[in-house]
Structure 1
Amino acid sequence: MTQDAERIRPMPSTSPMTWPSEPSFVNASERRVWAALVAQLGERDLIIANQRFTVRGNDHELDFAVVLDGHGVVVLEVKGNRVWHDGETWWQDWNPAPKKIRPVEQAMSNKYVLQDWVESSSAWAGRSRVRWAHAIVLPSSEVDARFSHPECERSMVIDANDLADIGNRLRTLLDVQASTRRATNAEDALAIHAALSGRFLPQREGQLSIEARIAERDDVVERLSAEQGRILDVTSLITRVEVRGGAGSGKTWLAVEQARR
């Protein structure tokens, strides 16, 4: 068992809701954060992973968001490898050289994107506003307990040592807000889950308009007619062909097409 696994408390008897149901991760850092969240949250909580948004032509990718029953919503930006701050800029170890990053800005921007999407969804209709927060997660770095920066308090940073208690730290982050907005409940989590399913999605055949059904049938007829026409191409060198088939199988169409040729 790894040191990280030992430090993460056991999974509760009931697991949290997740979106999507089986997310995929491109790196080990995100998998570690996912494992910690699943292990520490309960059945009335919701974990959102790797959700993409396109808003007014701009693409956003949200690493994680958690809806915590009785607390609120926190959007998380995860940065793997070693991460540090030089007093002006965040840096991340990268190959072939360290690169500048903006994790706090990304987390805050994604928070507003998700919040706008949810609150404009019909699934959220009639619900009052809830608490929202953002934080960064650095699963391969350690941050001094005395760290402080104008854009980011220490409570908004989850480092490698905090991962074992990430659930409680996120709850506390929401609870200390000086806000009149209410805490979330399980119904809010379900509404957010529904909002992420999309709006006015293309429907199956039973719900198509008459015009759409006619167009679909025309496409099928055109495709089948082309396939039947290939039979005549194959038999073009044969002087006599007997065609058999039940009613509606296309015998007449073949005869007309042969006469046309």
Structure 2
Amino acid sequence: MARMYPGTLPEHVLKNPKLSSEIRVYNTIRDRLSADYRCYYSRSWHQADGDGGEFDGEADFIVAHRENGLLFLEVKGGRVSCRESDNQWLTTDRDDFTFKITSPVSQAMKSKHHFLKRLKERLGSRYIRARHGVILPGSTRPVRALAADAPHEIVAFGNDMAKLDQWIVNRMAGVSDDREMPLGMDGERALEEILAGHFELQAHIGCSLSDDAKEIERLTSEQAWILDSLDHNQQLAITGGAGSGKTVLAIEAAVRSAEGGCRTLLTCFNVPLANHLRELCPSHPNLVVAGFHSLCGMFSEKAGLTISQKHDDDFYQNVLPNALVEAVDRMPDLRFDTVIVDEGQDFKDSWLDALKLALGDLDTGRFYVFYDDNQRLFSHEGSFVSALPQSVIPLSRNLRNTRRIHAVMSKWYEGKRSTPAGPEGEQVAIHECRSREQAVKVVADRIRTLVTSGQLQPGDIAVLDASGSINFGDNIGGARACRADKIAKNCVIVDTVRRFKGLSRPCVFVIGLEGLTDPETIYVATSRANILLELAGSPDDIARIMCFGS
């Protein structure tokens, strides 16, 4: 049996009565030619010339043999005729309807020349043996040739169908030009690549990422209405998981308070997040945006306090917070009407006490803490937050992450479950690597591909090292790199999971997976990507984080 492409005819071909002649030829070639023949059925082609013209065609059958070369066949069903007055080819079906058709000889010749040109581009100037022919199963052999370009020897009629396999072999093995050469093994491979080569394109995710980003932005902006319900609460703890819109609401609350004439503080623990908040908030004389320890240092300096310069653990845990309380006591004008804390789970109770004492009026001042009780990477205290009135509208929807990212991160969330509201998004990509060096190379190559193909900008990407032991330098994948606390325009952020806490990027790569040893850190690492998350590490670490088999 000949090797056929396709191996079986599609259902839509088998059910089409107009293709009955082609089906008959297909079955005959498949069943009667030997295994050293290959046959390609219904191969379309497109060609452009140097003058801007474009041409389309289709070869009904291309028969290939390593020694005997190529045979291009055109099949026409019905009773075929050619009108003498204008050389118009016609076919008449069994219901006696007549239709105009293109010359099958011309069609076969054009296909032959097109594919020989394609082969020449791959094989060089080798003069490959090639023939063309026509099969007319519904017509009997006439006495004379059909036309000058259609002598009997290149046409098979209904009379020949019983021995069509022999006709094909004879047609391909006929008189040879001395210049002709066999198709050869390399020719067989080249022809298969042209006519039947499998391909799988890499998805260009730029458009889908853009659509997902717009949907997430729309969902997040809709959260602002919740603030209208908070006006009657002077002190409030607002809880929600990663992606629930806490930071967006914290910023909106701070801006509204400042524009309402209240001296307002928006603060957080993490320095990179504080820098991010400062960039997002519009400048306003009533609004102070600062990291907690930076605020303590700044106010103690304004109040003229002398504090220890020994920057040890006690300096940050106790000295600076106590200096904040002393500074606002010495200079009451430094106090605030509204204090808003983002990522409040990172604060020690004593720090929150210090911030509350920075209010101008403990009875009328507003004190809001936005927090996620599943992300206590920097503090494991919680009695202060627990003592605050809880929000009557919990932030229970994940608006920032795609559903597929949410499915991974939510496995590691130990608080109240959130509901994904974002778009479906791309699959979470995994790259199994044998070493850290290979993981770095894989991520660098992916970044280079995403950026050079225009799917993402460097500023859309973050690389998070969970182990904290990989040094990337100032370049990754051909793009400039920066730290999370010194974000530069059009740079890929490269930092640790802990330092990137509270921040996000459209695309995040996580490496050093062996460093993700507890649920909280895994949760933070997998929730930083808005729309594209990729993990690179050992198979065991990937299986553990993705919860394969559980």
The 1:103–1:126 alpha-carbon spacing in structure 2 relative to 1, beyond 3 Å, is closer
1:99 aligns with 2:95: no
| Residue of structure 2 in register with 1:6 after alignment | none
Q: 1:43 is matched with which residue: 15, 27, 35?
A: 35
Partner AA of 1:157 in structure 2 = V
| Larger RCO: 1 or 2 (CA < 8 Å, sep 6+) | 1
* Correspondence 1:49-128 to 2 at 5 A: 49-56=41-48, 57-85=54-82, 88-93=87-92, 96-99=97-100, 101-120=102-121, 124-125=122-123, 128=126
The 2-side partners of 1:41 and 1:253 are apart by 71
State the structure with more CA Rg.
2
Q: Deviations along 1:136-194, whole A, 9 cap, x unmatched?
A: 11122211365463211211111223223222212212222341202334542222101
Question: Which residue identity is paired with 2:73?
Answer: L
1:199-223 alpha-carbon deviations (Å, 9 max, x no partner): 9x78426xxxxxx8xx83x952661
After TM superposition, the score normalised by the length of structure 1 is 0.72
Q: Is the 8 A contact 1:229 1:254 kept in 2?
A: no
For residue 114 of structure 1, what is the amino acid of its counterpart?
Answer: F
Moved more, 168-177 or 59-68: 168-177
Q: What amino acid maps onto 1:83 in structure 2?
A: V
Does the 8 Å contact 1:228/1:254 carry over to 2?
Answer: no
CA distance in 1, matches of 2:140, 2:251: 76
RMSD: 3.5
**Match in the other structure for 2:174:** 176
Are the structure 2 counterparts of residues 221 and 138 from structure 1 closer, same or farther at C-alpha, using a change threshold of 3 Å?
A: closer
Distance across 2 between alignment mates of 1:185 and 1:23: 27
Alignment CA distance shift 1:171-1:250 (3 Å): farther
Alpha-carbon distance in 1 for matches of 2:119, 2:210 = 42
- Residue by residue, what CA displacement relative to the aligned partner does 1:122-145 show, whole Å, maximum 9, x if unpaired? xx3357322111111112221136
The partner residue of 1:32 within 24, 34, 43 is 24
Spell out the pairing of 1:194-209 with structure 2 (5 A cutoff). Answer: 194-196=193-195, 203-204=201-202
Contact persistence 1:133–1:173 (CA under 8 A): yes
* C-alpha distance in 1 between matches for 2:35 and 2:177: 26
* 2:175 is equivalent to residue 191 of structure 1: no
Q: Which of the residues 155, 173, 195 maps onto 2:153?
A: 155
User: Judging changes above 3 Å, is the alpha-carbon distance between structure 1 residues 242 and 197 closer, same or farther for their aligned structure 2 residues?
Assistant: farther
2: distance between equivalents of 1:257 and 1:197?
Answer: 57
CA distance in 1, matches of 2:144, 2:8: 37
Q: Provide the C-alpha distance between the structure 2 equivalents of 1:130 and 1:257, rounded to a whole number of angstroms.
A: 72
Which 4+ stretches in 1 moved above 6 angstroms? none
Contact persistence 1:130–1:184 (CA under 8 A): yes
TM-score, normalised via structure 2 length: 0.37
CA gap 1:118/1:255 in 2 versus in 1, 3 angstroms: farther
Tell me the distance in 2 between the aligned counterparts of 1:42 and 1:62.
21
Q: Give the residue type in structure 2 aligned to 1:28.
A: S
Larger CA deviation: 44-53 vs 126-135 = 126-135
SS at match of 2:241: coil
Whole-Å Cα distance in 2 between the matches of residues 80 and 111 of structure 1? Answer: 21
Q: Cα deviations across residues 103-139 of structure 1 (Å, max 9, x unaligned)? A: 111111111111112221xxx3357322111111112
State the Cα distance separating 1:65 from its structure 2 match: 0.9
C-alpha change, 1:46 and 1:257, in structure 2 (3 Å) is: farther
Pairwise CA distance, 1:85: 3.7
The structural deviation recorded for 1:43 is: 2.7
